[in-house]
Chains A and B, each alone.
Chain A
Amino acid sequence: MGSVAALAVAGLSKRYGATVALRSLTMRIVPHEVHAVLGENGAGKSTLVKILSGAVQPNSGTIELAGQPYAPRTLLGARRAGISTAFQELSLLPNLSVAENLLLPRVSGTRFWPEAAGSITRRAEAVLKEWAVTDIDPVARVEALSLAERQRLEIVRALSHRPRLLILDEPTAALPDATWLFRQVRRLTETGVAVLYISHRLSEVRELCQRATVLRNGESIDTVDLAGVKDDQIFAMMVGRAPERAYPAPVAAAAGAETLIEARGLTTGRLRDVSLSLKSGEILGVAALEGQGQLELFRALGGVGTHEAGEVRYNGRPVALTSPRRALRAGDGIAYVPEERKTEGIFGGLTAAANMSLPQVPRIARGGLIHHRLDVAATRTAAEAVSLADRYFGFRVSDLSGGNQQKVVLARALMTRARCLVMFDPTRGVDVGTKQAIYTMMRGFVADGRAILVYSSELSELVHLCHRCLVIYGGRIVADVGRDRLTEEYLLAAAHGHGGAAPLRAAS
C-alpha cells in the first residue's frame, strides 16, 4: 500500500465541557482506499467527521493530510485543503433551488452582479450530469425533494468539490438503493481519492470498503482488513462484548386475534386507495422504496397528516384522526413515532425524564402539581421497557446520543398507553445495541394483545420482526406477505413493483 497516507490521524481527542467525545483516535487512510469507520452511536464517529471537516477543533492530537499538517478552523478551510463532506444531517438550504445549493459558495464567483439564473442552472446541470444524476430538476426547490433525493444532492455537492479525501457520513441512511452511490465512489477512488465511509450497515461496508477502523467510547480499537474478519468479531469490537444474536427468534401471533384498526380506501398525496387491518398481538410491517406513499399512510394513521378519502375504524367504530391528540384518544389509542427525531420527536432542551413522562403528566400530578415520586416511578417503568439506563434521566436530551434519543422517544410513546403504535423507521441511524432494545420492546409490546404498524428502510429487519408485511409501491399495497413467505428477496422484488408475487390486496 501507498507510502504517504492520504490521511493520518494520531491521538486525536475532543471534549465538550465535561463530556469526552473522543479520547484517543489513531487511524491511517491511504489513497485509492474506501475506509470504513464503525462504531455504536456515541462512539465518536460524528465528532471525527466534525473535526476533519473543520466544524470543530480538537483538544489535542495531530492530523496529516497527504503528509502535510492539517488543522482546519472552518468548513471552507477544510474544503480548500481538499476534504469535502456529505453530512448525515444534510446541510442543504431548503428554501433555495437545487442548483443554488449545489453551487452555493461559488454562485456569482467574484463578480459583483448576481449570476443569472440560467447560468446557475446550466452549471448545476453539468455537475448533476457528471455524477449521473438525471432525475433531479436543478430548478426545483430543495424543500420539494424527497429525503432520498436530498441525500443524493448532498453527496453530489461533496463530490463536486473534487476532494482529495471525501467523507460520507451515513450516506445511505435515506437511500433505498446504494448502487448509484457505490458507482460514483468507485469512480472517484480510481483517480486516487481516499474515502472515509461511515455506515451502520455492515453488508454495505463489506461491499464497498477494504479496511475498517472500529471506534468504541471515543477510542480507536483496531483497524482491520474486512475480508479477514467475521461480522460477529466486528460487533464484538464495537460493543466490547460478545454480541447477542442479531434478531431474536420471531414469535407467532396469538390465535384468535381481534381486529383493532381497519383502514379502508385511504387516499392522500401519493397514497392511493389503501386498505389494511391491524390485529391484536401483531407486528405488521410495511416495506417500500423511498417515497411510495408510506409516509403519508403513517402520518394519516398517527393523526399528523390528513387523508382526502377513506375511513379508519378502531374496534369497529369509525374514528376521526384529525390530530395526534385525537389519534391518541381514538379507540384504545394510536401513538405515532415520527420519522424525524430532531424536529418532531425530542424536546432537546428538556431532560430525558421530562421528555418521557410528558404524556403521563396528568396522572403523575396531585392537585395540579407534579408529584415527584409518581414522576420518577412512571419514568422508570417506561425507561425499563426500552432499557434506557437511569443515569440518563437528568440529562438534557440534546446531550444524548442518537440511539438514546430514540429510546426516549419510544419510551414516551409507551407512556401514552396507546394500544397501537405506528412507528416510522424506528431504527434509522441507531446502533446495534439500541436496535436490540427496540426489537425487545416491540415484541414485549405486542405480546399482551397490543399491536404495532412499522415501516423500516431495512428489509432484513422487517423479515425477522414482523408477523405480516405489506409492500407499498406507487402509492398502492401490492403485496400482503405472511410470515411463512417473508424473505428479503420477495419483499425487494415486490417493492420494486416486480410481481415476484402476484399482487394481493390486503384483506381482513
Chain B
Amino acid sequence: MSVDQRLGEAGRMPADTRGTSRLSGETVTIGVIFALTVAMILGSRVISPAFGGWNQAETILYLASFLVFCSFGQGLVILVRGLDLSIASVITLGGVLTTTWLAGDNGDLVFILPAILVVCTLVGVASGIGVSLLKVPPFIMTMATGIIVYSLCLGVTRGTPRGYPAPVLNDVMRAELAGLPVPILVLAAFVAGGFLLQSYSTYGRRLYAVGNNPAAAHVVGLPTVRVTIGAYAISALCAGFTGIMLASYANGATLRMGDDYLLPSIAAVVVGGSSILGGKGNFLGTVGGAILLTTLATILSALGIEQGWKTIVEGGVILFALMVLREQVYEALRTWMGSERR
C-alpha cells in the first residue's frame, strides 16, 4: 500500500503531490543557511577557545545588523526585478548627515533623525520614479542617483566629514537591555517588522505580484508604478537608517563608510534564496544570508588571513552557496524523495 494510494481522492484520482510536498525550496534554503552559520560559529572553537560561544555569536549579530538593515531594502528592490546600486552612497549620506546635522549634540535629535530618514527616502523615490515612470534600467538609474548623492556628500564636506553623532546614539549602541545589547534588540524588531511587511502585508503581496509578472500586474489593475517606487523608497530609507547606526557605532562618518555594504547586500539577498531576477524570495533567507556572510568574514579575520585570500574565500563561498541552493537541487531532492516513497 503506497502513500500515494491512500492520499488519492477516493482512490480514483491519482495522487497529486505538487503542492503537498511543502518542504519548499525556501524553507530548505533558510534552514540550511542557519544551520551552516551555527556550524561555522561552533566550528570556530578550533581556532581559539574564546570563539564558538554566545559572546562570539553576539558580536556577529551586532556586526551583521548593519548588513541586515540595508539588505532588506535591497531585497525588496530585487523582488520587483530591480537592483539598488545607490545603497553605498545613501548609507554615506545617512552617516554624514548624522554627524553634520547633529554635531555631537543631543538637542534636536527627535526632529533631526526623522529629517535624515526623509532626505534618504527622497533619494529612493527619485530612483523609483526613474525606473518605473521614465523606464531607465534600474542598474543605470540607481548608479546615477548614487553618484550624484556621493558627489554631493563629497562637495559639501570637502572630502572630510566633520562632527559627531549625538552622544545619546553612541550610548544606545553600547547599552544593554535585559542582558542583550540594544542593537541586537533593534535587529530583532527590524527582522520581525520586515518579515511581516514582505510576507504578510498588502504591500508585500503586491510587491510579489509586480515582481513575478509585471504585465499581469498591470492587467489586474495593480498600481505597479507606486509599488515599484515604494520598493526603492524603502530601500533608501533602510540604507539611511544603516548610515545612522553605523555613524553612531563608529562615532563618526567617512565618505567610504557605505562601500563595504553594497555588494554584500546583494550577496545576502541572493544567498538567502531570492531570485536575482525578481518575484521570489523571503526576508528570513536574506537575514540568514547576511549573518552567514558576516560570520564568514569574522572567522576569516580571526584566522589572520591576508585580505586578498580572504576576499577569494568569501567569493568562493558565495558561489558555492548559490550553486548548492539552486531550484534544480530541490527538484532532484524531491524526485528522489518521491521515488523513495513508492
User: A interface vs B, CB < 8 Å?
Assistant: 15-20, 23, 217-218, 240, 302-304, 323-325, 327-328, 336, 338, 343-351, 354, 358-359, 361-362, 365, 368-370, 391-396, 399-400, 412, 416
Contacts and interface: CB of A to CB of B under 8 A. Distances in A.
Contacts of A304: 218-219
12 contacts: A18-B334, A20-B14, A240-B12, A304-B219, A324-B218, A336-B219, A344-B215, A350-B209, A361-B206, A362-B202, A369-B201, A395-B19
B220 A343 contact: no
A23 B338 CA distance: 14
B143 interface: no
A327 B218 CA distance: 12
Contact of B205 (A344, A354, A412): A354
B202 A412 contact: no
B203 interface: yes
A217 B14 contact: yes
A358 B209 contact: yes
Given A18-B338, A324-B219, A412-B220, A347 B14 contact: no
Contacts, number: 121
B228 to A, nearest CB: 14
A392 B19 CA distance: 7
Contact of B220 (A16, A358, A365, A368): A358
Contact of A394 (B13, B19, B206, B280): B19
What does DSSP make chain A's interface, helix, strand, loop or mixed? mixed
Given A354-B205, A369-B196, A347 B216 contact: yes
Interface residues of B, number: 39
A323 B215 CA distance: 12
B160 interface: no
A17 B21 contact: yes
A328 B221 contact: yes
B201 A370 contact: yes
A72 to B, nearest CB: 21
B53 to A, nearest CB: 37
A323 B218 contact: yes
Given A17-B331, A17-B338, A344-B215, 13 more contacts: A19-B16, A217-B13, A324-B219, A325-B223, A328-B221, A346-B216, A350-B208, A361-B206, A368-B201, A370-B201, A393-B19, A399-B18, A412-B220
A369 B219 CA distance: 24
Contact of B215 (A302, A343, A412, A416): A343
B259 to A, nearest CB: 33
Interface in B11-30: 12-22
A349 B24 CA distance: 13
B105 to A, nearest CB: 36
A347 B18 CA distance: 17
B202 A324 contact: no
A367 to B, nearest CB: 9
Contact of A370 (B18, B200, B220, B221): B200
Contacts of B212: 347-350
